């Protein structure tokens, strides 16, 4: 069973956490199911980028992003080469280490 490790995030997960999931599970839903209240403003319909995560390990084990996900990611706050929209990620067979970006585009608009 792949293990998901979440790095600490000051609001969403101050201590960090980790949990096991099944291969094929949706990453965004898994986070929510384990108490990590990641934003998902478009209800996972690939239209908002608020579910953006950075894969600090395991990125290569995932199916590549489709072009429309890549296009949306270009608008995400804090984009990195291993960024994904968590609502579009099916966990593969390997463990993942996930960093939750400090802000989403919603925060950036409201507060910065
Ligand atoms: S929840 Fe909107 S793109 Fe993932």
pLDDT digits (tens, 9 = 90+) for 30-57: 999 999 999 999 999 999 999 999 999 9
Question: Is the pTM of the predicted complex or chain greater than 0.85?
Answer: yes
Q: Which residue shows structure tokens 């579910």?
A: 51
Report which DSSP code applies to 90: B
3-state SS class at 36: coil
pLDDT digits (tens, 9 = 90+) for 52-100: 999 999 999 999 999 999 999 999 999 999 999 999 999 999 999 999 9
pLDDT digits (tens, 9 = 90+) for 23-32: 999 999 999 9
Asked whether 32 lines ligand 1 (CB < 6 A), one says no
| Contact call for residues 1 and 21 (beta carbons, < 8 A) | yes
For the chain, the residue count is 112
Asked whether 41 lines ligand 1 (CB < 6 A), one says yes
Identify the band that residue 109 occupies on the pLDDT scale cut at 50, 70 and 90: low
What domains does the chain contain, in order, with CATH numbers? 3-111 (3.10.20.30)
Asked whether 65 lines ligand 1 (CB < 6 A), one says no
Distance, CA 75 to ligand 1 centroid (Å)? 12
Q: How far is CA 9 from CA 12, 38, 74, 79, 96, in A?
A: 6, 10, 22, 16, 16
| Contact call for residues 73 and 83 (beta carbons, < 8 A) | yes
Write down the pLDDT at residue 61.
97
């Amino acid at each position: 069973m792949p293990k998901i490790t979440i790095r600490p995030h000051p609001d969403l997960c101050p201590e960090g956490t980790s949990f096991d999931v099944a291969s094929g599970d949706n990453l965004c839903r898994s986070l929510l199911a384990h108490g990590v209240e990641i934003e998902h403003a478009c209800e996972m319909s690939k239209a908002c980028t608020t579910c953006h995560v950075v894969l600090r390990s395991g990125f290569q084990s995932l199916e590549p992003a489709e072009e429309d996900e890549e296009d949306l990611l270009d608008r995400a706050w804090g984009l990195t080469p291993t960024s994904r929209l968590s609502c579009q990620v099916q966990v593969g067979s390997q463990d993942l280490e996930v960093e939750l970006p400090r802000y989403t585009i919603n925060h950036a608009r409201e507060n910065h």
